[in-house]
Amino acid sequence: MKQDLAIKNLALREVRTEGQRLDAKCLQLKNQQSKLMRNIHHLNKEIKALTSLLEKQGLEISQPDFSISDTDSDLAINEI
């Protein structure tokens, strides 16, 4: 009987420890996601500014495989 109780207590401690580890990992991943979203937003601003500057100088610019405005709207949705 005491052995069963000890085993249950050990299992409970392991589950709590794992829960805390998962909570910490979740927070870490959310922070990484926020940082990546800010970096993407910053890069989009730089791309727009450089594109405008190069067009003013008369340089030809190839079009990207994606729409920058699409990534801006994706960022807005993900930040909600």
DSSP 61: -
The rounded distance, in Å, linking the Cα atoms of 65 and 40 is 16
How does pLDDT run across 18-75, given as a tens digit for each residue?
999 999 999 999 999 999 999 999 998 998 899 999 999 999 888 878 777 755 555 5
Give the predicted TM-score (pTM) of the model: 0.63
Residue 22's φ and ψ, nearest 5 degrees, are -65, -35
The rounded distance, in Å, linking the Cα atoms of 61 and 50 is 10
Taken in order 13, 19, 21, 24, the sign of the CA dihedral is: negative
Break the chain into its structural domains and give their ranges.
2-57+66-79
